[in-house]
Structure 1
Amino acid sequence: MSELFVKLEQDDDIVMLGKDTFTVSRLKELMTENMKVRLFQQDLKYKQDYVILANSLCNKLKITDKSIELDLNEIRLVFPPKGIDCQLLKLQSGKWISGKIKFQVDVNRDRQTVITELEFAPDEITSNETEEQQNANSNENLDEIRAKLNQINAL
């Protein structure tokens, strides 16, 4: 496993988690909606517990002699830290890639905003040499097809 997570930029690529598939944009949208409900909705049973926890963690964290205060109204959550097994279909290549995905969620408590990004790490990194060899083989195949077509046209 490479463990090199890269932000997924192409919203139309497909992510398969278990048996379910999502476009990157839809998965980000669903996670954002769910996080907003968990963090900001008033009607949830655990809202009171969450408010107590959030207030104790996020209000004026003080360091050492308590003269340095940090306002933690803006936080970043990354989960699961090592990622979760998935497959990614990059539309450019048309190939499924096994790997791990993790969610990066930026939360602003004051504005009650949530922004979700996805990061992916392939199980195996495709080297440039392998890709170059595949391209060279593809070009050779095209040259063979062109040669055969020229022979047929010559008849």
Structure 2
Amino acid sequence: MNDKLATNKKYEILDGDDDVLLLGKATFTVRRFKELAASKFRSILDISVDKDGYHTISTMMEELQINEETKIMGGNITWKTSQQGIACQILRIGSKGWQKGKLQIEINGGLEYSGKTQTSIKFFPDEPVKQKSPLDDIRQSEEYKKLSNNN
């Protein structure tokens, strides 16, 4: 299999805050992992000291001044993991066990410092999740079993 995650491969955004991620030997709830990643991202944006004093990276990136007449205003700063993803396992509330897959993380931070970042975690399962058929409940019903036994 190619090391890069296929762009058309199925993934889901992890939003079950109490689900558990296993990354190597470290475990985190999804909520805590997002908090830690966002906190680290914010601290990186705030690190920069020059001879004039303290300046944040986000302040320096508010605009790109090409020349005296040309200034380009910036938008959000985004950080993403590589396309290969991060090997992990997830244990979901109510599931029967760990599910292996890969994570991709994206963190967006506005240039105006508001202390807010948006963290999105995509989970690409190694094995596709078997979809439950809408007919499965019907097939399990006593009426269906009686009908199928009569034929």
| TM tier, smaller | 0.5 to 0.7
Amino acid at match of 1:122: P
| Aligned position for 2:145 | none
Preserved contact between residue 40 and residue 112 of structure 1 (Cα < 8 Å): no
Between the two proteins, what is the percent identity of the paired residues?
26
| Aligned position for 1:102 | 104
Is the partner of 2:104 in helix, strand or coil?
strand
Preserved contact between residue 61 and residue 111 of structure 2 (Cα < 8 Å): no
* 1:87 Cα offset (Å): 0.3
Amino acid at match of 1:115: Q
Q: Which runs of 5+ in 2 are unaligned?
A: 143-151
Question: Comparing both chains, which one has the higher relative contact order based on Cα–Cα distances under 8 Å and sequence gaps of 6 or more?
Answer: 1
Pick closer, same or farther for the CA change 1:94–1:74 going to 2, 3 Å. Answer: same
| Aligned position for 1:76 | 78
Equivalent in 23, 29, 35 of residue 29 of structure 2: 23
Q: Which runs of 5+ in 1 are unaligned?
A: 42-46, 144-155
Is the partner of 1:36 in helix, strand or coil?
helix
Pick closer, same or farther for the CA change 1:29–1:55 going to 2, 3 Å. Answer: closer
Identify the structure with the greater helix proportion. Answer: 1
In the alignment of these two chains, the number of paired residues is 126
Is 1:125 the counterpart of 2:128? The answer is: yes
| Aligned position for 1:33 | 39
The C-alpha deviation readout for 1:63-108, integer Å capped at 9, x for no partner, is: xxx97x6522313222133310000111132321100012110111
What root-mean-square deviation, in Å, do the aligned CA atoms of Structure 1 and Structure 2 show? 3.2
Is the partner of 2:81 in helix, strand or coil?
strand
> How far, CA to CA, are the matches of 1:89 and 1:78 in structure 2?
23
> How far, CA to CA, are the matches of 2:57 and 2:45 in structure 1?
11
* 1:36 Cα offset (Å): 1.1
